[in-house]
Structure 1
Amino acid sequence: MRDRLLVLILLLATATATMAIDLTPLWDFNRPDVSEQRFLAALKTATADDVLVLQTQIARTHGLRKDFAKARAILESVEARVQQAGAEARARHALELGRTYASAAHPPEAKTPEAEAEARAAYQRALAIARAEHLDDLAIDAIHMLAFVDTAPADQLKWAQQALAVVEASSLPAAKKWEASIRNNVGYALHQLGRFDEALAQFQQAVVLREAGTNAQATRVAHWMVAWTLRALGRTDEALEKQLWLERAGDAAKQPDPHVYEELELLYRAKGMNDRAAHYAELRSRTGQ
């Protein structure tokens, strides 16, 4: 599965009710440099634990730009103060430390046994803090990050199902916001295991949740996952209809998607329509995939 789609699905930031500052409007995951400037501006008026939480998010912006050394240096600079802080600051610090060792932004060669051990310890620490203090959204975040350490499909399914259990049991809005992403993760692991009918059910639930929200791009990705799985099930005509709809939606949003073009190429080849397949192969090459 393509890293860009996973990053889009998996990268979420939600603020908990205990925070005086709302992190959500400060984050733009497509522009971590802009997010950093927002966090720096917020630091000027922040107090108490909010200062530390903002520092963890500044570190995360560097991680998203693959400057893990800088991210780790920021976290190390506040570590002593974090140890005396509240649960949220401690959980977020552990989460971001883990992300400097294993995340969607890391290339395969960076995922050494030593790095994985550091990441696992940090994520488990974040999870323990979050569970103890009922910070359900941060517990979900920690669990879903463990799937970047244990990358075998069976392990990814295990972690995704654990995260989904927290989502379903929680009454916190910040935790409920994770449901579409976590159902996507469950579906993706099931798809990798060849359990396509079960995967489709999860992806379809994710579509319903995305349709109720306001993120049009994430909604299109959710539909793409459904169409991708329909192709795997041999339901070629249904998959083709949905991918053609996604092509039109992407064009209307001025966001053409090479992944849609790739699927259309495969679907038309499966139907023996090689001229149409070649057309989408050309479109895909133009959009940089």
Structure 2
Amino acid sequence: MTVTQDALDELWDFADPAASAARFADAAARTSGPDRDELETQRARAYGLQGRFEEADAVLDGLSGATPAVRTRVALERGRVQNSAGSPEAAVPFFRTAVGEARAAGLTFLLVDALHMLAIADTAGADAWTTEAFAEIAQVTDPRTLRWRISLHSNAGWRLFDAGRLDAALREFEAAREAAVQWGTPQQLQWAAEAIAECRAALEG
């Protein structure tokens, strides 16, 4: 198989990371080289979502880093493991590494992924990382990459919501919904609608 983001999306079910890990393991067993390594990074991610952090790190330790995409994904998943394990400060250097690798190789999708994770792990710099991510996709036409606009607006909205800036939060949630209509999944559209409803209820309360 050719490892595209669409191919990875087909194997993912974030509601069932255990089943996702099994699918990635099976797909990796049927290929080799960098394609196998990219699939294995997603198995590691699925382990991390289950709290199986040592197993996730062990998978990543076994990867070669032979291509920029593999190196970027390994750094991303090491960062996600640290963040999920409750160590966002330890995650930040990995996400910074992923940004550098992705930018040097012109891997915009992964670059924006890394920037969006930095905005989560580095709360003090969240607004700056988010602004940088939006700048990276300003001229993008690929629909799958543009889907990042949903998460970026949504995450910004929740930061504002938690800070009590409800009017600004609502604008971000509405922007997330607009992006979801254009590029998102039905689940993302539902989440955007729920965020808007919660924010409006808070404003009215």
Tell me: CA distance 1:193–1:20, structure 2 relative to 1, closer, same or farther (3 Å): closer
Which of these residues, 197, 200, 205, is aligned with residue 230 of structure 1? 200
Matching of residues 147-158 of structure 1 within 5 Å = 147-152=119-124, 155-158=125-128
Deviation for aligned residue 1:158: 2.5
Quote the offset at 1:214 in angstroms.
Answer: 6.4
Structure 1, unpaired ranges of 5+? 1-16, 237-269, 271-289
Residues in 1 aligned to 2:188 and 2:5: alpha-carbon distance in whole angstroms: 28
Instruction: Quote the Cα distance in structure 2 between the aligned partners of 1:20 and 1:123.
Output: 19
Match of 1:198 among 168, 183, 188: 168
Q: What do the CA deviations read for 1:224-274 (whole angstroms, capped 9, x no partner)? A: 2112222333xx3xxxxxxxxxxxxxxxxxxxxxxxxxxxxxxxxx5xxxx
Aligned residue among 8, 12, 16 for 1:27: 12
Whether 2:102 is the aligned partner of 1:121: answer no
1:14 counterpart residue number: none
1: CA distance, partners of 2:5 / 2:50? 27
1 CA distance for matches of 2:75 and 2:97? 6
Q: Is the 8 A contact 1:160 1:185 kept in 2?
A: no
1-structure distance, mates of 2:69, 2:161: 34
Match of 1:134 among 106, 118, 125: 106
| Separation in structure 2 between the aligned mates of residue 20 and residue 150 of structure 1, nearest angstrom | 26
- Indicate how the Cα distance of structure 1 residues 18 and 218 shifts in structure 2: closer, same or farther if over 3 A, else same: closer
Query: Which residue, out of 59, 80, 86, partners 2:67?
Result: 86
Matched, 1:60 2:60: no
TM-score between both structures, scaled by the size of structure 1? 0.64
Q: Percent same amino acid at aligned positions?
A: 34
Shift of 1:18: 7.4
AA aligned to 1:139 is L
Q: Hey, what's the Cα distance between the residues in 2 that align with 1:92 and 1:134?
A: 14
1:75 partnered with 2:60: yes
Query: CA RMSD for the aligned pairs?
Result: 2.3
Quote the Cα distance in structure 1 between the aligned partners of 2:5 and 2:51.
Answer: 29
The residue type paired with residue 101 of structure 1 is: Q
CA contact (8 A) 2:150 2:184 kept: no
How many residues are paired up? Answer: 204
Q: 1:59·1:96 contact (CA, 8 Å) conserved in 2?
A: yes
Q: Which amino acid aligns with 1:116?
A: E
Gaps of 5+ in 2: none
CA distance in structure 1 between the partners assigned to 2:109 and 2:58 by the alignment: 25
Letter in 2 for 1:127: V
Q: Which amino acid aligns with 2:76?
A: L
The answer to whether the 8 A contact 2:45-2:56 is kept is yes
Question: Scaled by the length of structure 2, what TM-score is found?
Answer: 0.88
Q: For 1:180-232, what per-residue CA distance to the aligned partner results, in whole angstroms no more than 9, with x for missing partners?
A: 11111122223333333222222112112223456333222211211222233
Name which one, 1 or 2, has greater alpha-carbon Rg: 1
